[in-house]
Amino acid sequence: MILSISGIVLFGVIAFLFFRRDGLKISHALVCALFGFYVAGSSIAPSIQAGGASLASLIGGLKF
């Protein structure tokens, strides 16, 4: 599934506004889930996955 970047940005802005203004409700969580679904199908998904893996390894390497 291909979605243009403008659609991904639109879902991202809507999710951000929902979170900042009203807290996260069930309908807002649905929009966030759709945002995640469309981002996962886009060309930036591998970059996001690599960034998440790097962050996880960084956190895993911290010594307290």
> Which residues, at least 6 apart from 11, have a Cβ–Cβ distance to it below 8 Å?
31, 34, 35, 38, 39
pLDDT over 70, % of the chain: 86
Higher pLDDT, residue 33 or 6: 33
Is residue 26 within 8 Å of residue 20, measured between CB atoms?
no
Q: Could you read off the pLDDT of 8-25 as tens digits, one per residue?
A: 777 778 878 877 887 767
Asked whether the predicted pLDDT for residue 64 surpasses 80, the reply is no
Q: Which pTM was predicted?
A: 0.49
